[in-house]
Structures are given as structure tokens and as C-alpha cells.
Amino acid sequence: MIELRNLEKRYDNPLTGLPFYAVKDLSLAFPSGEITALLGPSGCGKTTTLRMINRLIEPTAGQILVEGENAQSLKPEALRRRIGYVIQQIGLFPHLTVAQNVATVPDLLGQPKARTRERVRELLGLVGLEPGQFETKRPSELSGGQQQRVGVARALAADPPVLLMDEPFGALDPLARDKLQEAFREIQHNLKKTIVMVTHDIDEALKLGDKVALLNAGELAQFGTPDDLVRRPVSEFVRQFLGEDALLRQLAGVRAGALARAGDGSGLPQVSASLNARSALSVMLRERAEAVAVTGEDGQISGVLSFHDLERT
Amino acid sequence: MNSRPLAGAVGEHLSPALSSAARFSPDLQLVLWLGAAPMLAACWLPWVLLRPNRLAAGEFLRLPPLDIGLGLLAALATALAGRFLPRAVPLLASFALSLGAWWLGSRSGAAVQGQAEFARASVSSGVWLWLLGAAMTVYGAGLVGRRLGGAQPYLAWLWLPAVVLMALIGHFASWSVVAEYRVQHDRFFQELGRHLYLILVALGLATLIGAPLAVWASRNARVSGVVLGVAGGVQTVPSLALLGLLIAPLSALANAVPALRAVGVSGIGVAPALTAMTLYALLPVLRNGVVALRGVLPGVLDAARGMGMTDNQRFWRVQLPLALPVWLSGIRQAAVMLVGVASVAQLIGAGGLGYFIFSGLQSGAADLILLGALPAALLAIVLDILLRGLETLLGRRLGRA
């Protein structure tokens, strides 16, 4: 678990001497084993907050506790080696092979080479890259999506309990982003890391975040589950930022199969279980139906999704 | 990744079109004609200047009529092949350059045949013009060869073994420059060695001093302003003036500190020459160093810090390897420039190939000037090629290429 206590980052304007607060009096607890999305408009302090957690930026006031330990009392390098870090521009080392990139932190920690090599192969497999094929390649030989997979593998290499991600999927095209988000959700389902993910993409925050922390001008606007933000916005800012179609955005991140219930779907319009719930809703509206039948990969009806089920998101 | 097979398929469809582009590309034909024109003119110009001794006035000798015909044919064929038979261009261009070298040897040999021992056969305007033109067609042929692919680019280099072979069998023995070389054989290697010594020591010193300064400057805008400003200022002083300027302070230093005089520091000689050359080489080493170090992507450095590398680890493992290929190109520039500056060093008694150039100038012996100038030019080219090769190698190893 990561806990922020009255965190503050103040910059003083050198000309006027006036203070500017990038982050102001921020108290927040990122729950263990869950993804918390740090969401907000640009300049709201979300990246600054993230970078203060592994002390790439030093706070001007307040405290950060990582796994109960005061981050300020640790050596920055030691702290960072215990925290996985993935950034938007990917930041792979272009002069090293994929395997060497992934092995960065284990090597810094001085772990035995043979074990690291084993670990690298395991991680590449985990992120969906065939080790034999990719180990010896250079980052420049990979597509953007493959590079970011390597970036995730590298962050996980030393098995850190905590992962910080700064717009990890921001530079990818929509198709690659979707695929990688799916793969990432799958990985996290098994690993249960404590993840803080900065994003300005509302869809991504609602789709991947177990919790969402919405920041505005350096202060916390709302912290809660995606449901809380979508259905129970605490302020006008939250409502406006998410937009009136927030519910639809949320539905877009859920599979129809995940909401369907057992039932007799004969005679209803059919949708594939892998379709997202927003599209299923669109089908209901188009077909003027109160429910649709959800079909599995084999084409057989596996359940029924009714209009009321959509409210259970 | 996905675009690769696509690009291959497109390339296959395009390759016939590409070879016709090589045939009809106007720029390549222009290069070939620009080379053929001086060759055509050279056929009519004097090839050899025969003099009873190295300083006397002499008579100009032209090519025999049969050779003129062959020369015209070779020049025209090379240029026209660019239009009608691109595959023949590399071979023809190599032939033209080899022909010029062959005539250089055979014409000067024919000239001194039966003459007294001190007779000298210098090459004249025809040879220079021909070699210039032929070199241009070889350059064009290299471009044509690269478009044609296969073994074609290498055919454009066939002249090199041909000329080396001619040199080995003593074909150029009658050429006046070689005659000068024979007289000064030992001195030549001594001065060549001195020339190389000056270059390598100055380059080493400039790198030793410049590297830490570049690292410092790359991290601090104020330092980089001062350091690059001073190095740029030094660069604007002409090399001759800089050598002169150093005489006073260095001789004063040597007088004040006898220990320095004992190790060879004085107003003239090797010490001031090395000082000036080191100062000159500093700017390219510094400038490229700063540019290379700053040019490393910020995301990569941020990732290195975020992974938990210390500042030292980040510099040695990430920033320096990524900057090295670009940095090396600055060292290459410095090396090539130093070949020229070292030629002037003779003026303050530091020796080097400048010895031949300046004694040739003083005695009006053009052959002696060439004995210094030609090897210096060759040295610059060879250094450039070697260091460029090292750059490419490092670039590939370090993932920049």
C-alpha cells in the first residue's frame, strides 16, 4: 500500500516570488493489489504526484509511505529499485537488447545472472512476447506495442510490489492500445500488484482502474471506484470532466459476457460475449429489444443481457 | 514491423524501374559528363614536363596520337554508358582512372629514357585534369553501382588494386616526385612519422582535456557557453598566427621554469606545435561531445533514473554509450583538420610533411612540394575512412544505426 499524507509540491516563481502549487495538501491511500488511476486534465499535478512517489521529484511538504515505510528515509536509488516504473515514451535503452533491457533492475540489484536470464524469459512470455524470438532484438526492431510490452516486463523484472505507470499506453494507436490494455488487465489479475497509473484518458481510467483519483489544479477532486465517479460525482467539476456520457464510457470498458446472466435467450437479438457492453446497448436500441442473447466463442447462447443488467456495472 | 514485408514487395516491383532510373537519372549523367569533360580536354594538354634537372626550365611533352585516340574513346564511352549501358559505367570509370595512372608512369618513363641522371619528368596539367575527371566519374560510378546493386559498387573500386599494383612493380619510378622520394627516402619516413605523431598526440590530448569539459558543459548551460565560446574563439585565429602567438609565452615559460625546458618546452619546436594543435582540435571534440550528450533522449534518461540507476551508472551505462557514435564524428573532424594544421607546424621547427612543402616552396621545386602535399592529403582521406568505419561499427553495436 502507498499512502500520501498532506503531500505538497510548491514552485516559487523566481520573478514575482509568488508560490505555485503543482500538488497541494494531497492525502490519499492507494490500496494494495489494486490499480488506482490518477486522472485529470493536463497540469493537474497527476504526473508530479506519481514522480514524487519514487522521488524523481522531491515534495516540499508532506509524507509518502510505501509499504508502511517512509519513502524519505530511504536512499532514492534503493527506493526506485523496489518500485517498477513504466513511462509513456517507453524509455527502453536503444543500445541494449530486449533481454538486457528487461534485466536492468535485477542487474542493478546484483542478482545472479542465471536466475535473471530465467526470469527474463518468464516475463517476456508473461507479456506475450515469444522469448526465443525477441530476447536478442533491439528496441528499434519492435513495434510500438511490442516496445511497451517490453517496458512492462522490465518494470516487473525485480518483482516489485508496487508499479508506477505514467501514461503507459498513451503513445500507441487505438488498436494496439486496446490489445495491450486487455493483456495488462489479464497480467494484473494474476499478479495483484499495487499499481498507480497516470492517465488523461477517461476511458482508460474507467476501464482499468479499480479506483480512480481525479485531480484538479493540484487538489483531489474525488477518490473512489469508477462507479462512484460516474454515478455519484461529488462536484460539478467531476461531473463535467467525466462528461454526460460517462456511463457509456464505463460500459465501453466492460464485456457483455461479464454482465450477462443465465437465461433463455431464444428469439432475442444475439451479440458476442467479447463485445463491449456499450455496443450491446446500441444493439438493444437498434433492435428495440429489452435484452440481447450473449453467445460464446462456439456461437452457442451462453446467457442473457437485459437492459437492467447494464446498471450493475 | 508490419510494414517490412510490404516494403520488400514494393521494392521488388520497383527494381526494373529503378535500374532505368539509374540509366536516365539526369543528375548521375551530369556527374559522369562533368568527369568526362576534363578528361577530353586533358587529351590535348601537355602530360609531362621534362627538365634537365629539378630546377631548370623544360619542355612540355604531349600524348602520342594513338593514346589521344584511346583517351578520347575512354572518356566518351564512360559518359555515354551512363545513358545507354549503366552496367558498364563502374568498370569503365575504373578503367579511365587506371589509364591515367598508367600514362603517368609510362609517359614520364618514356620522357627520361636516354636522358642524363638528373633529368626530371614532372607531370603536367594533362595528368591532373585527367585524374580529376576520372575521379569524378568514379564517384558517379559508385552512385550508379549502388543503384544497380550486386557486385557493381565494388567494380567502381577496381582502380585501387590496379594503381597499387602499378606502384608495387615500380611503374611510377621515373616520376619526378618518386625521384625526389628516392633521394630523401629516410627523411620522408621520418617526417611522415613526425606528422602522425603530432596528429595523434594532439588528438589524444584534446580528447583527454575535451571529454571531461564536454561532460561538464553538457550539464551546465553557463559552462557550455564559456567553454564553447573560448574554443570557438581559438578556432577563428589562423593556425599560422596561433603558432606565432605561442612563441612568446612558451619561451618565457621555458626561461622561467628550467625543468620545463629540460623536458623540451620552448618557443619553437614540437611543444608549441602540439599546444596549438590541441587547442584547435578542442572545439570539434567539445562541440560534438556536448551535442551528443545532450542529444540522448530525455525519456531514456528518465527511465534510467526511475529504474534506480545512480547518476554514475546512468552516465556510464546509458548516456555515454548512446552519445559515443556522434561524439566520435567530432574526433574524426578534428583528426582530418589536424592533418592540415600539422603541415604548417614545420614553420616553427616542429617537422612533419610540411618540411617538404616548405623546402619545396623555398627552392621553387614543385616536386618536393608534392612529396609533402600528396601524402598529407592521402593521410587525411585514410584517417577519415578509418574513423568513419569505427563510427558506423559503434553506431550499429550501440543501436543508433
Q: Does A81 touch chain B (CB under 8 A)?
A: yes
Is residue A94 less than 8 Å (CB to CB) from chain B?
yes
| pLDDT recorded at residue B114 | 82
A88/B321 CB distance under 8 A = no
pLDDT value at B186 more than 80? yes
Q: Which residue bears the cell 626530371? A: B120
Strand-strand pairing, A2-12 and A61-66: antiparallel
Residue of B302, B309, B399 with shortest CB distance to A94: B399
Mutation target to probe the B interface, by most B beta carbons within 10 A, among A93, A148, A159, A164 is A93
Q: How far apart are CA A23 and CA A129, in angstroms?
A: 38
Question: What range defines the domain where residue A56 resides?
Answer: 2-252
Whether B23 has a pLDDT exceeding 70, the answer reads no
Give the highest mean pLDDT range of A272-286, B12-26, B103-117, B199-213. B199-213
User: B9 pLDDT band (50/70/90 cuts)?
Assistant: very low
Determine, yes or no, domain membership for B180: no
CATH number at residue A291: 3.10.580.10
Q: Which of A283, A290, A294 minimizes the C-alpha distance to A306?
A: A290
What pLDDT, on the 0 to 100 scale, is given for residue A312? 67
Last residue of a domain, one of A235, A252, A269: A252
The answer to whether the beta carbons of residues B288 and B207 sit under 8 Å apart is no
For residue B307, give the nearest of A80, A90, A94 by CB distance: A80
End-of-domain residue from the set A236, A252, A268: A252
Which pLDDT score, from 0 to 100, does residue A90 have?
66
Per DSSP (E only), the strands in B256-359 are: none
Q: Which of B299, B313, B398 sits opposite A91 (nearest CB)?
A: B299
Residue A18 Cα, gap to closest chain B Cα (Å): 26
Whether B165 and B190 share a structural domain: no
* Pair B194, B124 in one domain: no
Chain B: residue nearest A87 by CA?
B303
- Chain A positions in Cβ-Cβ contact with residue B400 (cut-off 8 Å): 94-95
pLDDT band at B285 (very low <50, low <70, confident <90, very high): very high
For residue B181, the number of C-alpha atoms closer than 13 Å in the C-beta half-sphere is 17
Residues B212, B344: one domain? yes
Q: Check which CATH number belongs to the domain holding A202 and give it.
A: 3.40.50.300
Q: Taking residues B163-187, what's their average pLDDT?
A: 91
Both A114 and A227 in one domain: the answer is yes
Same domain, B325 and B244: yes
How far, in Å, CA of B352 to CA of B361, rounded?
Answer: 15
Contact (CB<8Å) B308/A105: yes
Q: Which of B302, B308, B322 sits opposite A94 (nearest CB)?
A: B322
| A154–B308 C-beta distance less than 8 A | no
Does A54 reach chain B within 8 Å, measured CB to CB? Answer: yes
Say whether both B235 and B371 belong to one domain: yes
User: Is residue A162 located within the same domain as residue A271?
Assistant: no
A105 touches B: beta carbon within 8 Å: yes
From first CA to last CA, the distance across chain A in angstroms is 26
Pick from A95, A136, A141, A196 the residue to mutate for testing the B interface (most B CBs within 10 Å). Answer: A95
pLDDT at residue B212 greater than cutoff 70: yes
- Please tell me whether residues B102 and B46 are part of one structural domain: yes
A142's CB contacts (< 8 A; 6+ apart) are: A98, A134, A150, B1
Q: Which residue has 463535467 as its cell numbers? A: A240
Is residue B333 within 8 Å of B388, Cβ to Cβ?
no
- Kindly state whether residues A180 and A274 are assigned to the same domain: no
Shared domain for A38 and A146, answered yes or no, is: yes
- The verdict on B9 touching A (C-beta cutoff 8 Å) is no
Write out chain A residues lying below 8 Å of B310, CB-based. 77
Domain closes at, from A229, A252, A275: A252
Number of domains, chain A: 2
Q: What is the pLDDT of residue B191?
A: 93
Report, as an integer, the average pLDDT of A117-126: 92
The position carrying cell 533491439 is A138
Using the predicted structure, report yes or no on whether residue B339 has a pLDDT greater than 90: yes
Residues B124 and B195 in one domain: no
DSSP SS3 for A271? strand
> Which of A57, A104, A111, A175 to probe the B interface (max B CBs under 10 A)?
A104
pLDDT at res. B14: 43
What is each CA distance from A87 to A56, A125, B93, B399, in whole angstroms? Answer: 13, 21, 54, 20
Say yes or no: B321 contacts chain A, CB-CB below 8 A.
yes
At B350, is the pLDDT very low, low, confident or very high (cuts 50, 70, 90)? Answer: confident
Domain match, A97 and A187 both = yes
d(CA B242, CA B156): 42
- Whether the CB of A89 is below 8 Å from some CB of chain B: the reply is yes
The total number of structural domains that make up chain B: 2
What distance lies between CA B191 and its chain's CA centroid?
18
Q: C-alpha grid cell for residue B190?
A: 621520418
Chain B within 8 Å of A179 (Cβ-Cβ)? no
Question: Does residue A110 share a domain with residue A21?
Answer: yes
Residues B82 and B132 in one domain: yes
Any B CB within 8 A of A96 CB: yes
Q: Tell me if A81 and B307 make a contact (CB, 8 A cut-off).
A: yes
Give the minimum alpha-carbon distance from A163 to chain B in angstroms, rounded to a whole number: 11
Judged by a CB distance cut-off of 8 A, whether residue A140 touches chain B is yes
Q: Write the CA distances from B328 to A62, A64, B74, B312, B334, integer angstroms.
A: 47, 44, 41, 21, 10
- pLDDT for the residue numbered A287: 87
Q: Are residues B308 and B223 in the same domain?
A: yes
In this prediction, residues B82-110 reach a mean pLDDT of 92
Grid cell of A261 as nine digits = 446472466
Of A89, A104, A139, the CB nearest to B307: A104
* Best to test chain A binding among B3, B4, B307 (most A CBs inside 10 Å): B307
| B residues 254..313 contacting A (CB < 8 A) | 297, 299-300, 302-310, 313
Q: Are residues A165 and A303 in the same domain?
A: no
Asked, for residue B318, whether it belongs to a domain, the answer is yes
* Partner residue facing B308 (CB), from A93, A108, A141: A108
Q: Which residue of A has its CA nearest to B4?
A: A141
Question: How many angstroms away from the CA of A194 is the closest CA of chain B?
Answer: 17
How many angstroms separate the CA of residue B1 from the nearest CA in chain A?
Answer: 6
Within this chain, do residues B214 and B316 fall inside the same structural domain, yes or no? yes
Q: Please tell me whether residues A158 and A267 are part of one structural domain.
A: no
List, in order, residues 6 or more apart from A205 with CB less than 8 Å away. Answer: A37, A39, A197, A199, A212, A226
Q: Min CA distance, A27 vs chain B (Å)?
A: 23
Report the gap between the CA of A49 and the closest CA in chain B (Å): 14
Answer yes or no: do B1 and A96 touch at CB < 8 A: no
Q: Is residue B280 part of a domain?
A: yes
Residues B89, B146: Cα–Cα separation, whole Å: 12
Do residue A136 and residue A266 come from a single domain? no
Q: Do the Cβ atoms of A95 and B308 come within 8 Å?
A: no
In this prediction the ipTM stands at 0.81
- Is the CB of A142 less than 8 angstroms away from the CB of B1? yes
Do B162 and B190 belong together in one domain? Answer: no
pLDDT digits (tens, 9 = 90+) for B117-140: 788 888 899 999 999 999 999 999
My answer on whether B221 and B136 are in the same domain is no
**Is B302 in contact with A96 (Cβ distance < 8 A)?**
no
Nearest CA distance, A310 vs chain B (angstrom): 38
Same domain, A222 and A295: no
Mean pLDDT (chain A) is 88
What is the distance between the alpha carbons of residues A18 and B338, in angstroms, rounded to a whole number?
54
Query: At residue B149, does pLDDT exceed 50?
Result: yes
Quote the CA–CA distance of A34 and A2 in Å, as a whole number: 11
Q: Give the CATH number, domain containing residue B318.
A: 1.10.3720.10
Order of all β-strands in the sheet with A211-216: A83-86, A162-166, A194-199, A35-39, A211-216, A219-224
Q: Do B304 and A93 touch (CB under 8 A)?
A: yes
H or E segment and range at residue B29: helix B26-42
Same-domain status, A141 and A224:
yes
CB–CB contact A96 B399 (8 Å): yes
Are both A168 and A303 inside the same structural domain? Answer: no
B204 falls within a domain: yes
Domain that holds residue B304: 185-397
Q: Over the stretch B38-67, which tens digit does the pLDDT of each residue have?
A: 999 999 999 999 988 877 788 899 999 999
